[in-house]
Structure 1
């Protein structure tokens, strides 16, 4: 899905790149700055689209049950991850070195930046679709170029500081836009409580709430996003960030408010099929072209800044360890080029959800391992409060993390591809990864997590 919608600084006070080093206490962001940065992530039409899609498939009641369960589970898990990230200052890439070793961490980093690129392509395409429909003479292809050209500079530090302030205005504008869309829908179609009891043809399946909840597990990449944002939080603000900023209130807005609006818009408008473009079409119908485009631009620009930022810093970290060392600005351009090619050369709406579904299997397995590691006393018994994460402080492979991760992911993929228990694949994946890692930690050796002689100071948690 970045210091506006991206974490605050790209270089620490000592000149080190925050993509490859833990965030020092002196370089942490204030509550307000980090809150506005993170809450930009909630303003994605994807969340509106997802709830609408699930309501059409499983019914409104089942979808709302799934949303409530999702809010609670996301809030609890992300509270754990946020506390760890704030205490250590480690990103997903750096923390993955602890879990999987040097080589294994590269796989996690690659999955993260590829997922962020997918989201950038998806949300960028939404802006391009809206712009091409509203602006006369502007083709979809050129709209894609415009979207990328405007998005890439937002990854740079000086621009991020300006956007951090601008987002203080844009977030309320997004909320007002949602309200306006609901009011305009009522004015266009009238109001009926039928949207609260909507059911698909043939009735809602009895286990529809579970299927809808599993669908929301496909967005667990937000838990990775949490770590890359929360690491910029001050240690003194850890309770605020864990409970509010990255906790349940954020997901009430992200999944609750967005979801209910999505269900209402689509079921009230009697849309026959749901895609994110259908949501855009509905907005254009009820708000009018110019206002709808302005609303879409605000929502997707906020979220896409995060997508481009996270794709950039994780791509940089990945290739840095392969010996390809370029500046963050260069990698931002590379991400932009990749996103542009995918937006123009493919029908993004036909494959993006399928791709994210398969990547989601690896992500849920990662989350299961990360939570067990954070809550387990094993690492602390070995190394005290020191977390060794530098490239030459960790071994190439950590057997505990890799066996748990790939064992769970392969099982999840097999279930999904074969169709045998496919509906349970994400749940099975996270349970297997957590269970395997917990079991392997019982026999883990210090050499699995760290080399004998640390050549750089470890971070203290």
Structure 2
């Protein structure tokens, strides 16, 4: 137990913090499934090197990568496609090197980090976009399983196979990163590569593999850019991997940051994910002389045709591994979205069930008529988020205080300048995509990225700090914000001091955790009133929130 600093709030003396130095057993029990979805991941819950690598490498398997590369090869030629893929490997590997290190250092999710850049309300869109994107990818990958089973057996209707594919995947995403996903995906990774090697061998025996590596299309369409650059821009549409990296990278130990930045989330991963998978996809499609652009289900059907019932196993294995990650990300971000929008707490298992229902309902519709458009629109928001967040990490690489960004719900503005920049850059990308024909189809992503970076740099110079000027910070009352656990007066659970705040809506301003603070309307009203009293000039709610000092220095760092 520690004593509070000799300070007096408007409601009387501050309540003493209830401090301990061991994990709360109730929190640890919940974390087996919850994985600190709405909290900082403490150092005691970080994964080992190999464990996190195996969890993340679930994303290395997916027909999407094979189909994307094969489609590009048919469109712009094999050489141009491979050049574009290598550029993507460098780009993704470099950005995610820094994103994974940042996530390991802070232990924060996409939803929590976004509160610093976009504000208390502005940040709600980030987990919503990420959850929706993960669900759409789950739709695609689940459809591959369903179509392969339907085509091979000829039994049942496709709607039943959709349900079976979902029900076979969702339970595997219930366990958290440390308790299940690493073991499941680690055990199946060798089988995935073995299956693909067998498919290649059978394809060589079945077809005449010649000329696929130098293939060029008879007619190259007008793409508005050189073929290799067009191929690279296509991979920018998968920038959502940057957001995935944050949500998985938070489980990395800070001491392993370099390893994870290179091997787990960096260039080694993308060399396998994009380049090796891409080569296999190009080979399978071109040697089989597939007519027209390949589809994701068509490649799965080819695997089944070559291997029979064993091909069904390869397809299920491939898609189930990647869908564990898709459903995991969808559930954690749905949980964060529901908590903020409706101010209620839902277990991650309930959020996972909701994600599976939404996935099935989308599958039942004419999905291809609108999902590709929806993904393109979401892609604009994802690219904008990445541009802004990358810029923020570079400019504020030391954090606001204690090496962390100020993410706590009671210390950030309602709407931060970053939210305005995000909307402007993303909507610009969507307008280009929808109304400028070939130019927009090719250039919308890079234009969105460039615009988000430039506008955010301008916003940092002309806008005030998006932090509320408040004192009474529990971090000042403990010696080590990562080792000390402080009990939250609302949920009665203890979390590390790094995420705790004082609750001015309660007598004595007792401590409150980030999750309870984010869901409490009373807490939000009280902190805005407290900040107004401290500043006394601006109304609360936007870039002019109390504490907007007009500098990049945090307004809440100083003493009360």
Deviations 1:201-223 (CA, angstroms, capped at 9, x unpaired): 22477711111111111011011
Change (3 A) 1:254 1:450: farther
1:317 aligns with 2:336: yes
Counterpart residue number, 1:13: 28
Instruction: Measure the CA separation in 1 of the matches of 2:345 and 2:453.
Output: 34
Match of 2:541 in 1: none
RMSD: 2.1
TM-score, normalisation: structure 2: 0.76
Compute the displacement of 1:257 (Å): 0.6
Assess if the C-alpha contact under 8 Å between 1:405 and 1:433 holds in 2. Answer: yes
Offset, 1:385 = 2.3
SS of the residue aligned with 2:53? Answer: helix
Given the two structures, how large is their TM-score scaled by the length of structure 1? 0.91
2:269 maps to 1:242: no
Q: Does structure 2 retain, via aligned residues, the 8 Å contact 1:320–1:326?
A: yes
Matched, 1:197 2:197: no
Q: Indicate the residue corresponding to 1:26 in structure 2.
A: 44
CA distance in 1: counterparts of 2:467 and 2:59, whole angstroms: 33
Instruction: Check 1:454–1:277 CA distance in 2 against 1; reply closer, same or farther (3 A cut).
Output: farther
Residue 354 of structure 1 pairs with residue 369 of structure 2: no
- 1:149-228 to structure 2, matched below 5 A, reads 149-157=167-175, 161-192=179-210, 194-203=211-220, 207-228=226-247
* Helix, strand or coil at the partner of 1:253: helix
Change (3 A) 1:79 1:424: same
SS in 1 for 2:121: helix
**Gaps (5+ residues) in structure 2?**
1-25, 475-496, 501-560
Gaps of 5+ in 1: 1-10
- Written as runs of structure 1 = structure 2, the 5 A alignment for 1:246-395 is 246-273=265-292, 274-288=294-308, 290-322=309-341, 323-343=343-363, 345-377=364-396, 380=399, 383=401, 385-395=403-413
Per the alignment, residue 396 of structure 1 pairs with 414
Answering whether residue 124 of structure 2 is matched by residue 106 of structure 1, we say yes
2:71 — aligned with what?
Answer: 53
* Distance (Å, rounded) in 2 between the aligned partners of 1:378 and 1:306: 28
Q: Shift of the alpha carbon at 1:53?
A: 0.9
Match of 1:415 in 2: 432
Post-superposition offset of 1:90: 0.5
Q: 1:378 to 1:161 in 2, by over 3 A?
A: closer
How far the C-alpha of 1:352 sits from its partner, in A, is 3.2
> What is the rounded CA distance, in whole Å, between the counterparts of 1:116 and 1:162 in structure 2?
20
Q: Which of 105, 109, 113 in structure 2 is aligned with 1:87?
A: 105
Give the secondary structure class of the aligned counterpart of 1:397. Answer: coil
CA contact (8 A) 1:28 1:232 kept: yes
- Cα distance in 2 for residues equivalent to 1:310 and 1:129: 24
Residues in 2 aligned to 1:392 and 1:162: alpha-carbon distance in whole angstroms: 34
Q: How many residues matched? A: 444
Report how far residue 15 of structure 1 moved: 5.4
Matched residues in 2 for 1:454 and 1:61: separation? 60
The verdict on how the C-alpha distance between 1:46 and 1:451 changes in structure 2, with shifts beyond 3 A counting, is farther
Cα deviation per residue 1:47-94 (whole Å; 9 max; x = unaligned)? 111111111111111111100100000000111111110000011111
Larger radius of gyration: 2
- 1:35-50 mapped onto 2 (5 Å cutoff): 35-50=53-68
Aligned to 1:139: 157
